[in-house]
Amino acid sequence: MKHLLSAQDLTQNDIIALLDMADHMAEINTRPVPKVPALRGKTVVSVFFEDSTRTRLSFETAAKRLSADTMTFSASTSSLNKGESLRDTIETLSAMRVDAFVVRHKSSGVPLQITEWTDASVINAGDGWHQHPTQALTDAFTITRSFGTPHTLEGRTIAIVGDVLHSRVARSNIAVLTKLGAKVVLVGPSTLIPIQAQQWPVEILHSLDEVVAEVDVVYMLRMQRERMETAFVPSLGEYTARFGLTPDRVSRMLAHALVMHPGPMNRGIDMVVDPAQVSGSRILQQVTNGIPVRMAVLFTLLGSGGSTALATGADL
């Protein structure tokens, strides 16, 4: 594996191997000195054309704990937002002999395009509405470890709720979770479910109340206020009434069911309930797990042992 561009490119075996390696990485993170020399001498550049705090810090922390050198390129809002010098930027950074680009961009497809302009590995840290594969791996890690079934989600049903149309998290999670055997239900107003999503391996519903008492995971998506302006929903109030996670809905969830959210939450709109009051909430665990999962991705793409080390977890 040279790049990680889309969760759709991962096989079930790839996913299981990455999650197992993340277990080893999680163990490293519990040590007094949570650092190993696995990627010493490697250079990882975060190239963030779109604002992000948690994903960038999560990747940089992951790289540092593997002893990689890190650089950060944060594009300001000027000319790069028009994409004018994207290619020049990547070629310039490549000339500094970097080993991996961690790329976030508001336009779908940019990480894939960048692979044409560099020999380095490219990791998609979120592109437009398209993909955010390390988020989905993190979520799969969180769910499988919560349920104690590290290699499968057979028999589990996961509801992904809200603005699926504009969500790279949803697209990535559908790919990863279904490959682990889960049943995925998309729940949202028809305006926010992608056209022809019926062709995806998912079920589609338009009422959260219909599923909230039956699913193993309620995965809430962020609902952005500006969606109202383009008539996706009549009002945020109506959206919240139909699709917000309220205390009442939480009270009807199965006892073992989990609540997840990729963040940032839009309190009072997508999340009405205070997650701190929800025993099944894994929202902060998702953030914590992001680091070992990203360590596993970086080591898989850049580590010298490659698949052998991946299988045994040795040499860490």
Partner 1 sequence: MTKSIPELVFQNASVVHPTGIVVADVAISKGIIVGVGTGLTGARLIDATGLHLSSGFVDLHTHLREPGKEEAETIQTGSRAAALGGYTAVIAMPNTDPSQDCVAVVRFVQEKAKEVGLCEVVPSACITVGRRGEQLVPFAALHEAGVRIFTDDGNGVQDPLIMRRALEYSRDLDIVLAQHCEVARLTQGAVMHEGECCSSLGVPGWPAIAEELMLHRDIELVRLTGAPMHFLHLSTAGSVELVRRAKADGLPVTAEVTPHHLALTDELLGGFDTVFKVNPPLRTWADIQALKDGVADGTIDAIATDHAPHAAPAKDVPIDVAPPGMLGLETALGVANTALDVSEVRLVELLSWNPARIAGIQDRHGRPIAVGEVANIAVWSSTKTWDVSRDALASKSKNTPYHGMTIRGKVKYTVFNGELVVNDERAVR
Q: Name the site residues for partner 1 (rule: CB under 8 A).
A: 8, 82-84, 86-87, 105, 107-110, 112-113, 127-131, 168, 171, 194-197, 199-200
Residue closer to partner 1 (CB basis): 140 or 202: 202
In whole angstroms, how close is the CB of 168 to partner 1 at the nearest point?
6
Catalytic residue (one of 65, 105, 130, 132): 132
Residue closer to partner 1 (CB basis): 130 or 156: 130
Interatomic CA distance for residues 151 and 19, integer angstroms: 8
- The token duo for 184 is 């995925």
In this structure, what are the phi and psi dihedrals at residue 101, rounded to the nearest 5 degrees?
-105, 130
* Residue 309, CB-side half-sphere exposure with 13 Å CA sphere: 19
43 is catalytic: no
Show the beta-strand stretches assigned E in the chain.
Answer: 43-48, 69-74, 100-105, 121-127, 157-161, 183-187, 203-205, 217-220, 258-260
In whole angstroms, how close is the CB of 50 to partner 1 at the nearest point?
11
In whole angstroms, how close is the CB of 302 to partner 1 at the nearest point?
24
55 is catalytic: yes
Catalytic residue (one of 54, 106, 145, 151): 54
82 is catalytic: yes
Residue closer to partner 1 (CB basis): 7 or 180: 7
In whole angstroms, how close is the CB of 85 to partner 1 at the nearest point?
9
In whole angstroms, how close is the CB of 95 to partner 1 at the nearest point?
17
Short-list 22, 13, 20, 15, CA closest to 293: 22
Catalytic residue (one of 104, 105, 183, 222): 104
In whole angstroms, how close is the CB of 234 to partner 1 at the nearest point?
19
Residue closer to partner 1 (CB basis): 29 or 124: 124
104 is catalytic: yes
Residue closer to partner 1 (CB basis): 41 or 201: 201
The total of other beta-carbon atoms located within 10 Å of residue 185's CB is 20
Collapsed DSSP state (helix, strand, coil) of residue 222 = coil
Locus of tokens 């929800």:
278
Residue closer to partner 1 (CB basis): 42 or 130: 130
Catalytic residue (one of 77, 82, 97, 225): 82
- The token duo for 307 is 């698949």
Interatomic CA distance for residues 43 and 66, integer angstroms: 11
Catalytic residue (one of 3, 24, 43, 55): 55
* Sign of the CA dihedral with 302 first, then 52, 6, and 10 last: positive
Angle (nearest 5°) at CA 4 between 128 and 301: 150
Interatomic CA distance for residues 251 and 266, integer angstroms: 20
97 is catalytic: no
Short-list 243, 313, 305, 255, CA closest to 280: 255
The residues carrying an active-site annotation are 54-55, 82, 104, 132
